[in-house]
Structure 1
Amino acid sequence: MTTDQNKLTVRRLVEEGFNKQNLKLIDETFAKDAISHDPSQPNLARGPEGARESMRVYSTAFPDAKLTIEREIAEGDYVVQYLSTKGTHTGPLGNIPATGKKTNVTGVIISKFENGKVVETWSLWDQLSLMQQIGVVPMPETAAKQPAFAGR
């Protein structure tokens, strides 16, 4: 496949797979032994099932979430997407109960292709910002409010 075809595939995964919850698309686009790397979900299964599970986790916690492709770079067998997602935390996220808080988080997904299928992905989302937005981690004070920085 060409670089443009690979870009089209990952765009479809975002727009149809995640945003429209068309999980069957994952079976069409992921190799049976694809590897998904995600530090927030370190034990994902190989193949399409791992990708489906990853989507399920976030669509359960943020059922109204929508991904937006902010930037996209492709070279050879790789496509890199810088994404943003907005949603409301109305379902459990692991052991964190729903908070009802709105979130806006950014992340990067790198997808590697072989023979027209995704064979490996690396996902890295701003988990600290997410945890701050849902109230699990306190937001830092601004530098101006901290005594050590006052007047400088």
Structure 2
Amino acid sequence: MMTTEQSRKFIKEYFDAMCQDKSEITIDKYVADQHLKAHIVIFEAGLPNYQVIPQDIIAEGNKVTVRFVAEAEHKGELFGVAPTGRKVKVDGIIIYELADNIIVNHWMQADSVALMQQIGAMPVESDRH
């Protein structure tokens, strides 16, 4: 089992690497969780070179929680929405479970309503009146 400090260090390294390169080789180096891999591929297609900026990193044993802001530009199809070129900024929280220096599980909550509003797929509250 990884120590708290090893877990924190690994996640910081993972974020640094993913900000530079989201290729299959890089993803496979850090992620074994198939759902997380799929998530990265989907979002990289719709929001190429998206950046996930950690705001807080809290580690305990082999679990690491990150409060983040994701920033991107909508340059590819995302959830059936054609590229708009709009800049997006979304808040979220993710918990990673690590084993043997790889992410084996994750739980994520992100402001998907804000994302859909920012790419024009949902009306913004003030647009409804």
Matches within 5 A, 1:90-105: 90-105=75-90
* Aligned-pair Cα RMSD in Å: 2.1
Deviations 1:111-149 (A, max 9, x none): 11233332211121110000111111111129xxx8xxx
CA distance in 2, matches of 1:80, 1:54: 18
Q: Which among 89, 96, 102 is matched to residue 74 of structure 2?
A: 89
Query: For residue 39 of structure 1, what is the aligned residue in structure 2?
Result: none
Q: CA deviation at 1:22?
A: 4.2
With normalisation by structure 2, the TM-score equals: 0.85
Look at both structures and tell me which one has the larger radius of gyration over its CA atoms.
1
Could you tell me which runs of 5 or more consecutive residues in structure 1 were left unpaired when the two chains were aligned: 35-45, 147-152
Query: For residue 11 of structure 2, what is the aligned residue in structure 1?
Result: 10
Identity in percent: 26
Aligned length: 127
- Contact 1:19-1:67 at 8 Å conserved across structures: no
Give the SS at the match of 1:52. Answer: helix
Following TM superposition, the consecutive aligned residue runs of length 4 or more in structure 1 with deviations greater than 6 angstroms are none
- Contact 1:77-1:113 at 8 Å conserved across structures: yes
CA distance in 2, matches of 1:19, 1:83: 17
Query: For residue 37 of structure 1, what is the aligned residue in structure 2?
Result: none
| Paired amino acid for 2:55 | E
Could you tell me which runs of 5 or more consecutive residues in structure 2 were left unpaired when the two chains were aligned: none
Give 1 or 2: higher helix fraction. Answer: 2
